[in-house]
């Protein structure tokens, strides 16, 4: 158990479906992140939340909609996705800037998403 829990672990969805990915951490972190990992590509940062506020959107299409109701939970709502959105979606958390020295993230195990 890494301290960051992601559900579901696997998800297959059609292009017209709506689904949500969930991330939960109990590490006392106040920053949470969504990353996308596609085959043979670097991890791509999607969104950053600090103290529940979105501080970065890395030009992510609007079919991905994040939600951060509190510092421990992060969601990624998905709708009308494309097959090329199939990837491993990783959630991470860390201490927020100014809270203390921010040395790295703790990652969840990811959700393997397949869009058919």
Partner 1 sequence: DQQVKQNSPSLSVQEGRISILNCDYTNSMFDYFLWYKKYPAEGPTFLISISSIKDKNEDGRFTVFLNKSAKHLSLHIVPSQPGDSAVYFCAASARGAQKLVFGQGTRLTINP
* Residue entry with tokens 């990652």: 107
Q: Closest approach of Cβ 116 to partner 1, in Å?
A: 20
Contact segment (CB under 8 A) with partner 1 among 14-22, 68-76, 78-86, 100-108 equals 100-108
Coil, strand or helix at 84? helix
How far apart CA 9 and CA 24 sit, in angstroms, is 13
Q: Are 114 and 15 in contact (CB under 8 A)?
A: no
Residues in contact with 70: Cβ distance below 8 Å, sequence separation at least 6, in sequence order: 52
The site string for partner 1 over 3-42 (x = CB under 8 A, - otherwise) reads -x-x--x---------------------x--------xxx
Site residues (vs partner 1, CB under 8 A): 2, 4, 6, 9, 31, 40-43, 45, 48, 50, 55-56, 90, 92, 94, 96-97, 102-110, 112
């Amino acid at each position: 158990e890494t301290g960051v829990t992601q559900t579901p672990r696997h998800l297959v969805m059609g292009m017209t479906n709506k689904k949500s990915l969930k991330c939960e951490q109990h590490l006392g972190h106040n920053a949470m992140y969504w990353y996308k990992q596609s085959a043979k590509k670097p991890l791509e940062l999607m969104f950053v939340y600090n103290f529940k506020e979105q501080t970065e959107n890395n030009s992510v299409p609007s079919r991905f909609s994040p939600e951060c109701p509190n510092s421990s939970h992060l969601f990624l709502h998905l709708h009308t996705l494309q097959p090329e959105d199939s990837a491993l979606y990783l959630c991470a958390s860390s201490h927020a800037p100014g809270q203390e020295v921010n040395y790295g993230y703790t990652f969840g195990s990811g959700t393997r998403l397949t869009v058919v």
